[in-house]
Amino acid sequence: MKKHTPATTAHTFHVYEMHCNACVALIESELGNVHGVSKVVAHLATNTVEVVGDFGDKTPEHVARELSEVLKPHNYIISLEKRSRPVKWSDFKIAAPVAGVFIALFVALEKSGAVNLATTSGDVGYGTAFVIGLIASVSTCMAVVGGIVLSMSANFAKEGDKVRPQMLFHVGRLVSFVVLGGAIGALGSAFQLGATSTLVLSFIVALVLLILGINLLDVFPWAKKLQPIMPSFVGRRVHGLKNVNHTLTPFLVGVATFFLPCGFTQSMQIYTLTTGSFVTGALTMGAFALGTLPVLALLSFSSLGIHKKAQSGVFFKTAGLVVIFFGVFNLFNVLISAGFIAPLNLGTSKNQTTELGQISTNVSVIDGKQIITMKAKGGYTPSRTTANAGLPTVLQVETDSTFDCSSAFTIPSLKISKNLPPSGVTAIEIPPQKAGTVLDGRCVMGTYSFVLKFK
């Protein structure tokens, strides 16, 4: 205990159930509103909080009990003594197979063309952004948003206004993620990010997802120090808006959640910068926000403590394993695009009917230029093509409502990576090749492949 002034005392307490930077912002905001408290600083790395204020003649134990009551609705516990927390490795007996089923389901959906989990250069597809949003909405990282929703609901419910504020909050949140996500994408375009910069940022996104996943497992305390950090005052200011009872406050609070220190949100924002496109950035962040909507809407309209019910080791370990999968998946794609590793051939393309021994029927020569036509949908057709050596070549790839892995492919030996539109024809220039050259192409997941042989 340290005396600052005759009436001001500083205490350092241990906080149980602090997991992320969103927790830091929430704790600092809630305790900062307590009468007599003048300063609050929470430390994620040590799971402690420093509280300065005028507590009169109250003992540290008494102060700890009072502050615990303030944080009890958010499932945090304050104590003078550090509590040991044993790791429940047995949770993995359930979490691992459940996560495996979940991952297998989305890989199957990707292969069927129902969703697009990733594109070239480690890009995050809209399906992935939506899934990450779902996971984020029930993770400790989004606890601060859930706390804001519940507190705001209570404030406006006192005046009998229960529906309109909630609608304004969710509309504001979706609008801000779409508009500001688009702005970040456009900013990336203004900076004209090159291939190297895009790969570096994509690599950072993959690492952030890995760190978030490891933290969700809650078995490696040191990983908390690696989480991305946004200035804590931002979170406190946003959280404080919930106490302002104004007609447009819910909408503004929803807009402000874009800036909350959630690692999942930050990883999506970093990725959005690499898109260099307003539309892609807006759709990516919009898909992420839509993923968070079901749980947040349930919280706001039912006032159910979903987050507290989800505080089980099995649940978070399952979510952690899924997030780690996405992190490894995107890291793998970045390494493929950078040419550090070769794509895995996880499957074979269908319709492999073209022989390699003669010039294929999908090859034509017009005015000295060779045209190779190929369709991309659920694989590549034909998947094997024999063309003429020594001629400048154009690979024309046709898509028709193509949303599966084949919509994004790479030819590593030529350092060619392409994102194909859902429908249309994309022309890729290929320089003249020597006789005997074989070019291997893969979709970024390695699920589908094609071969171009020159003779």
Q: Which residues contact 41 (CB under 8 A, 6 or more apart)?
A: 28, 49, 50
Binned at pLDDT 50, 70 and 90, residue 345 comes out as very low
> Same fold for the domain at 2-79 and the one at 363-454?
no
pTM equals 0.54
Domain 363-454 superfamily per CATH: Cupredoxins -  blue copper proteins (2.60.40.420)
Give the best-scoring range by mean pLDDT among 188-192, 317-321, 365-369: 365-369
> Which H, E and C letters describe 240-290, residue by residue?
HHHHCCCCCHHHHHHHHHHHCCCHHHHHHHHHHHHHCCHHHHHHHHHHHHH
Residue 21 has pLDDT above 80, yes or no: no
Kindly list the domain boundaries of the chain, sorted by start residue. Answer: 2-79, 89-338, 363-454
- Per-residue pLDDT tens for 123-171? 566 777 888 888 777 665 555 566 566 666 655 555 556 677 778 888 9
State how far the Cα of 408 lies from the Cα of 402, in Å rounded to an integer.
10
More confident residue, 60 or 443: 60
Q: Can you tell me the mean pLDDT for 366-380? A: 89
Asked if omega into 165 is within 30° of 0 (cis), the reply is no
Residue 4 has pLDDT above 60, yes or no: no
Give the best-scoring range by mean pLDDT among 146-150, 209-213, 234-238, 307-311: 209-213
What is the residue type of 112? S
- Per-residue pLDDT tens for 272-331? 887 777 888 899 899 999 988 887 777 666 544 444 444 457 777 887 888 788 778 777
pLDDT at position 47 is 83
Q: Are 445 and 118 in contact (CB under 8 A)?
A: yes
> In this structure, which topology does domain 2-79 adopt according to CATH?
Alpha-Beta Plaits (3.30.70)
